[in-house]
Structures are given as structure tokens and as C-alpha cells.
Chains A and B, each alone.
Chain A
Amino acid sequence: MLDARLREHLTGFAEVVVAIVAGMVIGGLVMVIGGYNPVNAYYQLFVPSLTTGYGVEMTLSFATPIILTALTFAVGVRAGLFNIGAEGQMYMGALGAVLFGAISIPSILYLPLEFIVAAVLGMIWGIIAGILKAYRGVNEVVSTIMLNWIAYWIVESMRVYVIPNPVDASKTVSVPPAGRLPLLVEGTELSAAIIISILVLAFTYFLLWKTAVGYEIRAVGYNPLASKYGGISVRRVALYSFIIGGFTAGIAGFCEVAGRPPSYAITTGLSNLVGLGFDGLTVSLIGYNHPVGILLASIFIGAMKAGSRNMQIYARVPLEMVQTVQGLIIIALSIPGLLRIISRKIGGVR
């Protein structure tokens, strides 16, 4: 007789696997209709990024920011909210970090200040949605999406008018070498950012499970009524979760600026940032909104992103296919008991 919790974890894991398989199968169909070979595509997508040294390094590098944006969503869900504002919060964080490419300060201050300003801007952006929700009852789905777009245009206009790169029009100024995170492996994109990312993950885990604040967040997410009876302020919890979510997303922005060679900047149309928030959402959903799951899921999605270029080059499938499959996986995940439904149709007897 397995422990009740363990059995739950295993069922959850199985459900996720089913959803992933379902998403990939339908994605494969889409590829077939487009005239591509899905088997080759998936091979190119996963195998090199997980089996070669360079591939693994790139996988980890791509996993870095999405761990953080996944946390944004996860902390929201744990509080009973749907915070899909990681995109905007991250853009603002990246802005905060990249501003230091235009300022002259003592070398040793660059990294810490970039980190702090990125975090603060992210938190501010997050708390706007939090205040709107807690005090005006604004649905956070609509507000965070609006804020995402507003942040996008703010940062984009700053990119063009305030901090453009005099040498290269396709991006902003780069942060100076003193403001860059050291690379872990020369010649790859894997920087110390992954360490920061994992530290923040651990910190969030600690916060959620080992402190009073995290306890209140989880309690409200599970049962707002009993939480109220227990003296917890639901409004305050909403604000906490948006602040924490903004923090992690802001750090994601920092990592993409200070830890992303070769540009160490924000590129045109925020192209190096766009989509990372929603990747994080996928990671969090696949990872059951739990830090351990997020870590595993981030490697899965990270591998996909690392392999997407391979897939484009060798299987000729446009790399946007990755996002397509992600969307399908999420749709599959929204169906409760998908595992049960499919096993009933296939096997009949369990």
C-alpha cells in the first residue's frame, strides 16, 4: 500500500505524461499537414539537446529564465489567482538591468544594482495588478495581459529613444562587462544565471513551505473560507503573491540581460524576451505548480527550445512549432482526469 501522498504524485506525473504525449501527437499531425516529418522533427528537437554536451548546456541556459517566470505563475496559482503577467513584469525587470548599460558607476556595483533594480521594477509591475485585484476586484487575467502590452511598449520605446545602441540598431546598449554574469562554460550561452535561477527557485520553495507568509498563501489558495476563519487576510495574501511573482519575473529579466551572451541587451521588438513568460506558464502547469516539478519541466521545455533551432535547420520545421505543441499540452492539461478518460477508452478494465 503506497503512501497516499506518493500515490497522488505518481498519478499526477502520469497525467502530465499523457497530456504531453497527446500534445505531441496532435502537433505531429499539424506537421504532417504542413508537409513535414514529425518523427524527424521531434528527434531533432529533443535528442541533441539532451545528449550532447553543448546541447545540455544550451538546455540549461534556456531553462534559466523560464524557471523564474514559472514561479510567477505558480505562486499566483497557489494563492488562488491566475497571474499571467510574467511577460510584462519580466520586460520591466530587463529594462531595469539594461539601464545600467548607459550609466557609469564603480564596477563592483553593476551586478548587485542591476539585480536590485530589476527585482524592484518587476515587483512594482506585479503589484499594480495586485492592487487592482485586491482593492478594485479587477479580474487579474485581463489586467495582467493589459499590463503586459503596456510594459512591452514602454520598454520598446525606451529601447529606441532612451537607450539605443549607437553601434548596433537591432538592440539597446549592452551592459558593460562588469555588469555581466560570468559564463559557466566558454563558448556556450550557459552563464551563472542558472545558479541564480535555481537559488531563487529554492528560495521560493523555502518561502512557500517554511514561512508564515508562504503558509498563508497556500492556505488561501486551498480554502479561502477556512483561512478567513483562521484569521488570515485574503486581500493581503493576494498582494504578497503578486509581489513575489513580480520579483521572480524581474529577476528573469535580469538574467536575460546580464546573463545572455552575446548581446547582453534587449533586442528589437524585445525578441529575446517575448514568450518567456508564457513558456514559464507552460512549465508551471506541467510541473503542477511545485518547485520540483517546475525544475523538471523547465528542463523539458528548455530542451525543446534548445532543440528548436536544430529542428528548423535539419527537419525544416519552423521553430514556432514548439509553441504550438506547448499550447496543445496545456489544453490537454485542462481536462481533469484525462488519464482516466483515455485509459477507459483504450483498456476498459483497470
Chain B
Amino acid sequence: MNWSMIWQLFVQTLNASTPLLLAATGEIIGESAGIANIGLEGIMLISAFMAVYADSAFANPLLGVLAGLATGLLLGVVHGYISAYMKGNQIVTGTGVNLFAAGFVAYSIIAFFHVAGYYTIDLSLTVPKIYGVSPISISSLIIAVLAYYLLFKTQIGLSIRACGENPEAADSVGVRVELVQTLTSSIAGLLTGLAGAFLSIDWNASITKQMSAGRGFIALATVNFANWNPLLGIAGSFLFGFFWVLGEWIKNIGWLKQLIPVDLFNTIPYLATLVVVAGLIGRSRPPKYVGVPYKRE
């Protein structure tokens, strides 16, 4: 193993973990206020598409990133409003978003790019790298640290977490619970949107109809692993990102390829997630009222 290989491994892991980190950080903020969004998968997918669309339409990756952000923000606001103010069933809403996204992206690739299933963009249209590392990846680390600071070192963070742990206590001192929940949900959507943009116009230079490939759900597992702490989320997303990369690397090991069908290695990230989550019981503690719409009287 030489330095170049190690650097490669690091960059690949970083790439794999970036979307997880972004989505997980956003969801940590959202769930800390009490709103669970299982539609991250769908938000990521739609934002990935919108990023490609804007990028190719205007030949400008920055606009692509902005489009991804805006899409995620919009979807986050909708989810937040339905969950916080309309007291909707958060799991059903999230599932609906995922289904909508799957259909919408597949449909849109055909409708707007006139090809079926996937669409590639020229490498010149991807987000420019710094020494081979994406600025979005670097941002994701910074954002996670900022999120930690926000949640645990500021008064605002206190109010956010109170909404998720004991909304009654928050209400009794004048915190506007539903508003906080909608705002945090929007942030979750925003960051997931960035994750989607990263997937399509940064890391992969394409959009496929199954681009998110379960990452939204792995992000949920990361939130759990991180015990709702963004700094641990960095560790968690690297762990799961590593397993993604591992799957790919193992595929190249000659003698293993003879023994085991190569497609089976694709199960590694999902198996790893299952194993990690199964081992978490009792060790992680969700916000007490996450997923429960706040009702008075």
C-alpha cells in the first residue's frame, strides 16, 4: 500500500460519506425538534435531478448546486408544514415523497432529457475540485461542526431541542413549537438537497433514476448511530461511506471474484447498516417526542 492508494481510499470514502453526512446532519437538526423525515431518499433524488437540469440548462454547476438547494428547501418546508401544523402522519408523508420522487425523476429524465433511465453530463460541467476533493465535501464537514455548535452551544439550539424532548416545556416558556419544527425541517431538506446535488453534478456526473440507492435510509441509520450529535454524525457517515467503498474495492480482488458473484458485494453497505443498527439498542437515545405531532389540551 503506498500513499497514493491511501489518498485514493480517503477521497473515495470522503465522497461516499458526503451525501450521508449532509442528509444526516440535516435530519439531526430536524429530529432534534421532533420531526422525522423518512423522505430524505426522495428529496435527495429530486434535488439530484434538479441540479443536473439547471446545470445543463445554464452550463453552470453553481446554478446546479443552487437548484439542488432550493428543491431540498422547498420539500423540507412542505414536509415540515404538513407535519408540524397539519399534524400529518410523518412516516406516511415521507413514504409518499419517496414514491413521488421515484416516479417524478424517472419521468423527468425522459421528459426533459429525452433518454430513458439515466443521463450523463460532461465532466466539464461538474463542480470543480480542489486537489481532487470536492468543495461540497469540505463544506459538509464544516456544516456538521456548525450544526453541533448551533444545537449545543446556542440559545436557539436549546429551543430546538426542547421541542423534540418536551414540547410542553418549550410551549410553556413561549417557544413557538410548530414554527421551530417547520424551520428545522426546511434545514433538513436544504442539506439533503445539497447531498442530492453532490450525487449528480459533483461525484457522478450523471443522474440515474435510482441515484439515491438507499442513502436516505442509511442517513437515518447514521442519525441513530450519531446519537443525534452532528460530530458523531461525521464518524458515522465515514463509517457507512467506508462500507460503500469497501464493496467496490472488494469487487476488484481477483480470487474473490471467482468464488462469489460480484453483485453480492453490492449488499455490503446495507448489511453493514443493518448490523450497526442492530447493535445500537440501548446505546442511543432519540429525542423523546420525535415523530409525535404536538397537541395541546
Interface presence of B108 (CB below 8 A): yes
How far apart are the CA atoms of A147 and B221 in the complex, in Å? 14
Interface presence of A330 (CB below 8 A): yes
Within 8 A of B (CB), among A144-189: 145-147, 149-150, 153-154, 156-158, 160-162
CB distance from B108 to the nearest CB of A (A): 7
Q: Residue-by-residue, is A106-150 near B (CB-CB < 8 Å gives 1, otherwise 0)? A: 000000000000000000000000001000111101110111011
Q: Residue-by-residue, is A321-350 near B (CB-CB < 8 Å gives 1, otherwise 0)? A: 111111111111111100001000000000
How far apart are the CA atoms of A139 and B232 in the complex, in Å? 20
A35 touches B111 (CB 8 A): yes
How far apart are the CA atoms of A241 and B224 in the complex, in Å? 25
- Given A146-B217, A157-B263, is A334 in contact with B96 using a C-beta cutoff of 8 Å? yes
B107 touches A324 (CB 8 A): yes
A318 touches B220 (CB 8 A): no
Q: Out of B89, B99, B266, name the residue touching A323 (CB < 8 Å).
A: B99
B263 touches A327 (CB 8 A): no
A321 touches B267 (CB 8 A): no
A137 touches B281 (CB 8 A): yes
How far apart are the CA atoms of A113 and B103 in the complex, in Å? 36
Interface presence of A86 (CB below 8 A): no
- CB nearest to B293 among chain A residues: A336
A320 touches B103 (CB 8 A): yes
Interface centre among B101, B213, B264, B282 (most CB of A within 10 A): B264
A146 touches B273 (CB 8 A): yes
Q: Out of A153, A281, A318, A336, name the residue touching B86 (CB < 8 Å).
A: A336
Residues of A within 8 A of B89 (CB): 334, 336
How far apart are the CA atoms of A278 and B210 in the complex, in Å? 14
B107 touches A34 (CB 8 A): yes
Interface presence of A82 (CB below 8 A): yes
Total residue contacts A-B, CB cutoff 8 A: 158
A34 touches B111 (CB 8 A): yes
Interface presence of B100 (CB below 8 A): yes
Residues of A within 8 A of B274 (CB): 132, 138, 143, 146-147, 150
User: Chain A interface mostly helix, strand, loop or mixed?
Assistant: helix
Interface presence of B191 (CB below 8 A): no
Q: Out of B82, B99, B264, name the residue touching A326 (CB < 8 Å).
A: B99
B110 touches A318 (CB 8 A): yes
- Given A35-B111, A156-B263, A160-B261, is A327 in contact with B96 using a C-beta cutoff of 8 Å? yes
Interface presence of A285 (CB below 8 A): yes
Interface presence of B135 (CB below 8 A): no
B101 touches A327 (CB 8 A): yes
- CB nearest to A151 among chain B residues: B267
Interface presence of A72 (CB below 8 A): no
Residues of A within 8 A of B209 (CB): 320
Interface presence of A282 (CB below 8 A): yes
Interface presence of B145 (CB below 8 A): no
A334 touches B92 (CB 8 A): yes
Residues of B within 8 A of A328 (CB): 96, 100
Q: What bracket does the count of chain B residues touching chain A fall in?
A: 35 or more
Interface presence of B70 (CB below 8 A): no
B95 touches A84 (CB 8 A): yes
Residues of B within 8 A of A200 (CB): none
How far apart are the CA atoms of A331 and B95 in the complex, in Å? 8
Q: Out of B82, B112, B264, name the residue touching A34 (CB < 8 Å).
A: B112
- Given A138-B277, A146-B214, A157-B262, is A331 in contact with B100 using a C-beta cutoff of 8 Å? yes
Q: Out of B102, B273, B277, B278, name the residue touching A327 (CB < 8 Å).
A: B102
Q: Residue-by-residue, is A251-281 near B (CB-CB < 8 Å gives 1, otherwise 0)? A: 0000000000000000000000001001001
CB distance from A199 to the nearest CB of B (A): 28
Residues of B within 8 A of A285 (CB): 92
Residues of A within 8 A of B112 (CB): 34
Residues of A within 8 A of B213 (CB): 149
Interface presence of B288 (CB below 8 A): no
B214 touches A145 (CB 8 A): yes
Within 8 A of A (CB), among B167-189: none
A318 touches B281 (CB 8 A): no
CB distance from B110 to the nearest CB of A (A): 4
B104 touches A324 (CB 8 A): yes
Q: Residue-by-residue, is B102-120 near A (CB-CB < 8 Å gives 1, otherwise 0)? A: 1110111011100000000
Interface presence of B91 (CB below 8 A): yes
Interface presence of A207 (CB below 8 A): no
Please, could you name 5 A-B residue pairs with CB atoms under 8 Å apart, sorted by A?
Answer: A146-B214, A281-B99, A323-B106, A327-B101, A334-B93
Inter-chain pairs besides A139-B224, A327-B96, A332-B96, 12 sampled, C-beta below 8 Å: A136-B278, A142-B273, A146-B214, A149-B270, A153-B267, A157-B261, A320-B106, A327-B99, A327-B104, A331-B97, A335-B86, A336-B86
